[in-house]
Amino acid sequence: MQEQKNVLFICIDCLRSDFAFGDYGSNKDFFDFFEREGTAFDTVISAASVTSPCVGSYMTGRYPYEHGIRSLRDISLNQDVSTLAELFKQSGYTTSAHVCGPIVRDTGLDRGFSTYFHRKKEQTVYTDWYDEFKSEISDQKSPWFTYLHLWEVHGGKRDLPPDADQDNLEYDEAIRGVMTKLEDLFELVDVENTIIAITGDHGESIYDGTLRNFLTKNILEYFHIPLTNKTTGDLRSSFYDKYLQKSEIDLEDFYNSLRKYRKRDFPSALHKVGHGYHVYDFITRVPFAIAGHNVPNNGRITTQVRQVDIFPTLLHAADISSPDVEGQNLLSGDIDIRPAFSSACGPTLRSEKNWLYSVRYNNRKLIRGTERSLRQLFNLEKDPGEINNISGEQLEKEDPLEELLDGYIQSMKRRQNDTSNIDPDKMEKQLEDLGYL
């Protein structure tokens, strides 16, 4: 039997924890395997609410201000940080990645991968590409580390299974279809000699089936304006920036008050679909599950952990030493509950003045911007849906959350003078060619 264990690491883009574990939507037994054979975490707080910074954080064990990818698509990984792929490669592993979306080679997230295949959007788990990927997994020479990033659940136009139930939520059906395909993949993997881990990069505010939300999705967000490359969502954001935000008018609390009367029971935004615009839990709370060598059978853990903790945890499971990083190994025994930071960042650094930052700690979450008037505090124990902003009545300047968030924002702002080391127009053209824009 081989000494070094293979590692299969999977990310389902936009995978919310509450839908992954079946708290909402249809019943799913996908995570039963991890709860039975390993350890599953249902409260992992992502480092951001868009893909690239999140992938950077679990690939390095560091927050964006350290690893360098602070926005979606115009800045790349710092040269002085180590990635999972680099450390596995140094330990004798064959490293490969099959990715999609904004994590093109220019981000630097290909570092350490001998094979880095960035596929087109139409290449999904329902096409020949996935059959070829499964054959590659079966044929790889051990030990191997393979990263798989899946896009079928991502908003816009989701990829649904052939047996999708039109009466169910599109988002939930997309998750179910992907999980069914992953179960097929697991049957080909030598579980005795393979560590299997799965996570989401961030969550999603999803279409809830109401007429209001249908209009939001199809008219106010994604409708393409003729003779331009803009959507109605772009125009709405511009109007907000120009007129409402500068007048310090913020509608979030008003929208949240209306969420009490929504038709569906799951938390989601009243006025938005998608992600990136905020740091509510339905956008930043993702799952992480791991099974295999060095993984205790701890079932489902509800303790708050962080996306940066995935890096040292995977290395520990594979008996590889981790460099000193912000993340902690989640398999070492008692988990040290630490503040979890997140940012709602835009597609480019040029939008940084509109970003939001949050700290989640001791069942409370503080959210605020630097140039935005928005300021929110939620008691997550009493108000898990983050509807009632209590910042006006309970937040004092000496509150420990204030100090923690101040420190994080200052760390991010110290990198504010970084010049973008990616040509945003070039990256946008790449993503257009690949079908993601």
Q: What is the pLDDT of residue 56?
A: 96
Eight-state DSSP code of residue 205: B
pLDDT band of residue 355 (cuts 50, 70, 90) is: confident
Q: What is the pLDDT of residue 1?
A: 43
Of 28 and 236, the structure prediction assigns the larger pLDDT to 28
pLDDT band of residue 323 (cuts 50, 70, 90) is: very high
Average pLDDT over residues 360-386: 92
Is residue 417 predicted with pLDDT exceeding 60? no
* pLDDT tens, residue by residue, 249-273: 567 888 888 887 766 788 888 778 8
Name the range with the highest mean pLDDT among 152-166, 229-243, 282-296.
Answer: 282-296
Closest residue by Cα to residue 193 from 294, 112, 298, 92: 294
* pLDDT tens, residue by residue, 101-147: 989 898 999 999 999 999 998 999 999 999 999 999 999 988 999 99
Helices 128-139 and 170-186 cross at an angle (nearest 10°) of: 30
**At a CB cut-off of 8 Å and minimum separation 6, what does 432 contact?**
none
Is residue 99 predicted with pLDDT exceeding 50? yes
Residue 94, classified by CB atoms within 10 Å of its CB into exposed (0-12), middle (13-18) or buried (19+), is middle
* pLDDT tens, residue by residue, 64-73: 999 999 886 6
Is residue 248 predicted with pLDDT exceeding 60? no
Query: What number of other Cβ atoms are within 10 A of residue 226's Cβ?
Result: 5
Instruction: Determine the Cα–Cα distance for residues 117 and 103; give it in Å rounded to an integer.
Output: 11
Q: What is the pLDDT of residue 176?
A: 96
What is the length of the chain? Answer: 437
Q: What is the pLDDT of residue 93?
A: 97
Element (H, E) at 281: helix 281-284
Instruction: Determine the Cα–Cα distance for residues 361 and 357; give it in Å rounded to an integer.
Output: 14
Is residue 244 predicted with pLDDT exceeding 60? no
Instruction: Return the bridge partners of 197, or none.
Output: 9, 290
pLDDT band of residue 430 (cuts 50, 70, 90) is: low
Q: What is the pLDDT of residue 312?
A: 98
Q: What is the pLDDT of residue 392?
A: 76
Average pLDDT over residues 278-286: 96
Q: What's the pTM value of the predicted model, to 2 decimals? A: 0.90
Least confidently predicted of 100-114, 275-289, 291-305, 411-425: 411-425
Q: What is the pLDDT of residue 146?
A: 98
Give the mean pLDDT of the chain: 87
Q: What is the pLDDT of residue 242?
A: 63
Instruction: Determine the Cα–Cα distance for residues 15 and 399; give it in Å rounded to an integer.
Output: 32
Q: Which domains does the chain have, with CATH numbers?
A: 6-205+281-337 (3.40.720.10), 211-277+342-434 (no CATH)
pLDDT band of residue 211 (cuts 50, 70, 90) is: low
Using CA atoms, how far residue 204 sits from 32, 76, 239, 248, 321, in Å, is 23, 24, 23, 26, 34
Q: 134: which 2 tokens?
A: 């499964």
Q: What is the DSSP string of 322-335?
A: PPS-S---TTSSS-
Please identify which residue in the block is written with the tokens 């309970």.
394
Q: Are 133 and 8 in contact (CB under 8 A)?
A: no
